[in-house]
Amino acid sequence: MSVAPFSSQSLSNDDNLPEHVLPDVMANFGQNEAEDEAAVAHRDMLDTMHEEFLEAQQTLKTIRDFIRFGVSKLREYDVVVAQGTTDEFAEASAIVLQTLSLDWSADEQILDCRLTHSEKSEVLTLLQRRIVERKPLSYLINLAYFCDLPFYVDERVLIPRSPIAELIRQQFYPYFEPNDLVEKIVGSDEKNFYHHGLYDKQLAQPERILDLCTGSGCIAIALASRFPDASVDASDIDKNALAVAAVNVDHHNVHHQVNLIESNLFEKIPAENQYDLIVTNPPYVDAATMADLPPEFLHEPDHALAAGQDGLDLVHHILYQASNYLTRDGLLVCEVGDSEWALRQAYPEIQFDWLTFANGGHGIFAMDFDELIEYREYFAQYINR
């Protein structure tokens, strides 16, 4: 992955003050807390971290050293790595390489290059912010990747991490015929396509696509990149999210192809719009999970996560309305994540087509126009409740 050209605020301390690697971020922690047992333990932890980072500043030398140190500290301080990657090594590598303006998949040959004193300070400052603030890395650097494309993100939108990326790379084959931009998965079969479970129709490339609940716009823009002849509508109810999406549309220069729409699901989608493909990653986190989210996830907008008691508040409406906006050969692809079980329970009469993924992921189903029509009375019953 190449480093994205999004600008972000400098994270380094004063290069002339090497002994102050941590205080800028840590100075106010604990000062206003009652000096109870928890506060004392917290302060002790910060003091220990301070000493560890000062030692690292003085003794570590190479990129490899700092990546190893980062992995150790992320694990030691129980940092939750789950937004964009679940791998502490990948997270530590991104912290170091992004700070150094290097490709995140840096060549092995540069890993033993030494850092300057100021580079060490910048890397350690970003790492300790990640640990102390429990803020996801993508928000600290305003950068996330999806389908190998860079996207600006901040706390107005979720951090991109959907397995739908794998479907986009393969252009939803074999439902649609692939073009020259398809990315095959080596080793899957003789054609190097992974059979996710999509219907083998091999229809012509989609001409109109809808990304419902677009957030940062990452799915819509990735779709536009793989289907350059398609018109892509990207809708969201949240004006703040659409403002972020607009930044990404500008950055990727896809104004001619991606149209942003403020809409509560299908409410303001023109009735005449008929799509060959609707892709949606709506809020789907249930109430019990929302109540037990780790600190990292509390930085994300809760309205982009929460979807009622069982996580399906929006999904029922999507299932009921989608057929009104699909062509006769159209396909709906919807992500419900861990609410998959709840959806199965809600519609025991329906055999959903749950997709599989070569690189991990679950809770995504596909449903074509005919199926949506066939089961519409079941969806209507849920809506009418």
In a domain, 304, yes or no: yes
Same domain for 312 and 279: yes
Last residue of a domain, one of 102, 121, 141: 141
Same domain for 315 and 207: yes
Same domain for 214 and 172: yes
Judge whether residue 217 has pLDDT over 80.
yes
Name the residue with tokens 């997709």.
355
Judge whether residue 370 has pLDDT over 90.
yes
The arithmetic mean of pLDDT across residues 358-373, rounded, is 96
Check residue 251 and give its pLDDT. Answer: 97
Same domain for 31 and 162: no
Q: Which of 247, 240, 315, 238 is nearest to 278 (CA)?
A: 315
In a domain, 79, yes or no: yes
Same domain for 293 and 348: yes
Assign 257 a pLDDT band (cuts: 50, 70, 90): very high
Same domain for 187 and 267: yes
Assign 235 a pLDDT band (cuts: 50, 70, 90): very high
The number of distinct structural domains making up the chain is 2
Query: Which H or E run contains 233?
Result: strand 231-236
Main-chain phi, psi angles of 101, to 5 degrees = 60, 40
In a domain, 211, yes or no: yes
Same domain for 344 and 320: yes
Same domain for 326 and 202: yes
Non-local CB neighbours of 37 within 8 Å, separated by 6+ positions: none
Domain extent for 64: 23-141
The arithmetic mean of pLDDT across residues 29-56, rounded, is 78
- Note the pLDDT tens digit of each residue in 100-137: 999 877 678 889 999 999 999 999 999 999 999 999 99
In a domain, 103, yes or no: yes
Cα separation, 344 vs 338, whole angstroms = 11
Check residue 5 and give its pLDDT. Answer: 40
Same domain for 159 and 28: no
Which of 79-83, 250-254, 276-280 has the lowest average pLDDT?
A: 79-83
CB atoms within 10 A of CB 274: 15
Cα separation, 354 vs 352, whole angstroms = 6
Same domain for 115 and 234: no
Same domain for 296 and 171: yes
Please, are residues 11 and 143 in contact by the beta-carbon 8 Å criterion? no
Same domain for 110 and 40: yes
Beta bridge partner(s), residue 144? 151
Cα separation, 210 vs 273, whole angstroms = 9
